[in-house]
């Protein structure tokens, strides 16, 4: 039930924002985070939960790097 969907803010009103989810437009409450038009956001149960970094940011790469570094630590531990 903690499912959340990424969308893009089209317009911001007083306490709500109009969000585009690949063509479907939905109004969501903005009381939990500040947003502006153009922001990529995560929406949960009709409420903006978080502003996301721009899509180009490759978060996965740093995760894979981190996994690789864990192995090195493991090896150091075995060696030591």
Partner 1 sequence: MNRNDLEQVRTFLHEYDGPEIRLMEVCGTHTASIAKNGIPALLSPAIHLISGPGCPVCVTVTDYIDRLVSLSRTPGTAVVSFGDLLRVRGSRLSLADARADGADVRMVYAPMQMLDFAAREPDRTFVFAAVGFETTAPVYALTLEEAARRELRNVKLLTSLKTMPEVIRAVVRAGTPDGRGRIDGFLAPGHVCAVTGSNEYQELAEETGLPFVVSGFTGPQLLASIAALVKLQGRGTCLNFYPEVVTGTGNAEAKALCRKYYEPCDASWRGLGSIPRSGLRLREEYRTLDAGSSGLDGDHAARGCECAKVLTGQIMPVECPLFGRICTPQYPNGACMVSQEGSCYNWYISGRTR
Sites of contact with partner 1 (CB under 8 A): 1-4, 15, 28-29, 31-33, 42, 44-47, 49-50, 52-53, 57-64, 66-68, 70-71, 74
Residue in 70, 77, 65, 30 with CA at minimum distance from that of residue 50? 30
Distance CA 73, CA 50 (A): 33
Give least dist CB 37 to partner 1, A.
Answer: 20
Q: Is the CB of 11 or the CB of 29 nearer to partner 1?
A: 29
DSSP 41: E
Q: Which is closer to partner 1, CB of 37 or CB of 57? A: 57
Residue showing tokens 């978080």: 50
């Amino acid at each position: 039930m903690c499912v959340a969907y990424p969308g893009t803010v089209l317009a911001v009103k007083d306490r709500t924002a109009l969000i585009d989810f690949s063509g479907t437009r939905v109004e969501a409450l903005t009381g939990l985070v500040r947003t502006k038009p153009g922001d990529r956001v995560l929406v949960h149960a009709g409420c903006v939960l978080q502003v996301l970094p721009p899509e180009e940011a490759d978060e996965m790469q740093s995760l894979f790097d981190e996994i690789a570094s864990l192995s090195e630590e493991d090896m150091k531990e075995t060696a030591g």
